[in-house]
């Protein structure tokens, strides 16, 4: 009986893990859809672009220089509302020479906080 209970608990944990992963993927897809609409509303073309959900803001940190502190990146400190911590980020990765676009979305309300087109070093 003890082995059966342990097996049942393991199966239930596995099921809950799969359900959680499915919910995360659905949430990410919804955020990407919101970001895509925001980019279109700002008259940017979304054709032939790679759209990436930036999990934890890792790509943004690398690109804008937040991991290394103050740097020479022209994209450092761009947020008009200040550097917010409670947001999701979607990257629209265009092919050169077009600059990439970043969309910042509030984690709680799904409100678009900023649609930002990168600036390049001159």
Bridge partner list, 102: 91, 116
39 belongs to a structural domain:
yes
Tokens of 26: 């659905």
Establish how many alpha carbons lie within 13 A of residue 45's alpha carbon, considering only the half-sphere containing its beta carbon: 7
23 belongs to a structural domain:
yes
122 belongs to a structural domain:
no
**What is the model's pTM?**
0.66
For the segment 29-59, what is each residue's pLDDT rounded down to a tens digit?
899 999 999 999 999 988 889 999 998 888 8
**Alpha-helical runs (H) found in 42-118:** 58-64
Listed range (33-37, 43-47, 62-66, 79-83) with the worst mean pLDDT: 79-83
Domain count, the chain: 1
Domain coverage including residue 77: 2-117
Upstream peptide bond of 111 is cis (omega within 30 degrees of 0): no
């Amino acid at each position: 009986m003890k082995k059966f209970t342990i097996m049942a608990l393991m199966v239930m944990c596995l099921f809950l893990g799969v359900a959680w992963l499915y919910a995360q993927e659905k949430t990410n897809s919804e955020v990407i859809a919101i970001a895509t609409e925001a980019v279109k509303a700002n008259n940017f073309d979304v054709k032939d672009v790679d759209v990436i959900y930036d999990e934890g803001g890792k790509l943004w940190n690398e690109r804008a220089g937040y991991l290394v502190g103050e740097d020479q990146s022209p994209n450092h400190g761009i947020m008009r509302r200040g550097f917010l911590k409670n947001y999701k980020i979607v990257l629209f990765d265009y092919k050169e020479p077009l600059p990439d676009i970043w969309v910042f979305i509030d984690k709680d309300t799904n409100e678009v906080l900023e649609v930002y087109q990168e600036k390049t070093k001159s």
